[in-house]
């Protein structure tokens, strides 16, 4: 029952914006700094979607405020000491899963509709 109410709470934030979705996806694997997130987003979208620093940190600010992303701070031994790392939290992972599930439904529905629309062979 508590799990269902938690899912209900998460659904009020859906659908996610493309920038938020890509950032959460990027952080789903590892803890990354800002530049690495930008590179990961470009890789995921095969270069079709590029985040600028302004958009990146604006979304990171929102995600941190919602406690979906956690700021880890600097890591010793990094090339650039100014870099800070970010980590996906449990609630952030829940939101990401809910969004992926929603997108899966959309893809499934879309494929079934497109299959109906295909001309039948007689």
Partner 1 sequence: MLRHLYRCVVQLHPLPFRQRFGEEMLSLFDLAQTRTARFGLLFDGILSSFRQWVLRPQFWAESSPSLNSPVAEGIPTFSSLDNFRPRTSAVIDGLVFSAILFTLMCFSIRYSWIRVLHIQIPGYQIDSYLGFHPAVSPSDLRGAPSKPKERSPNVDSSGLISEHLQVDVMPVEAGPATTPTIGAQAPPQATPVQLQLTGNPAGLQLRIDRYVGTYKSQSPQMTIEIKVEDNQLSIHIPGEPTRALAAASQTTFAMIGDENSWIEFIPGTSGKMQRLVLSRGAQQIAAERP
Q: Rule CB under 8 A: which residues touch partner 1?
A: 33-35, 38, 52-55, 57-58, 60-61, 65, 71, 80, 82-84
Q: What is the DSSP string of 11-45?
A: HTTPSPPHHHHHHHHHHTTS-EEHHHHHHHHHHHT
Q: Cβ of residue 54: shortest distance to partner 1, in angstroms? A: 3
Q: Cβ of residue 36: shortest distance to partner 1, in angstroms? A: 11
Q: How far apart are CA 28 and CA 31, in angstroms?
A: 8
Q: Cβ of residue 35: shortest distance to partner 1, in angstroms? A: 6
Cβ proximity to partner 1: between 46 and 80 the closer is 80
Residue with tokens 């000491």: 81
């Amino acid at each position: 029952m508590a799990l269902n109410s938690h899912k209900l709470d998460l659904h009020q934030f859906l659908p996610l914006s493309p920038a938020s979705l890509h950032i959460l996806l990027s952080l789903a694997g590892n803890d990354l700094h800002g530049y690495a997130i930008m590179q990961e987003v470009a890789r995921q979208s095969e270069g079709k979607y590029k985040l600028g620093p302004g958009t990146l940190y604006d979304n990171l600010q929102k995600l941190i405020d919602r406690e979906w992303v956690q700021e880890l701070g600097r890591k010793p031994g990094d090339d650039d000491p100014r870099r800070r790392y970010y980590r996906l939290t449990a609630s952030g992972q829940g939101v990401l899963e809910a969004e992926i599930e929603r997108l899966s439904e959309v893809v499934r529905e879309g494929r079934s509709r497109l299959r109906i629309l295909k001309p039948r062979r007689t």
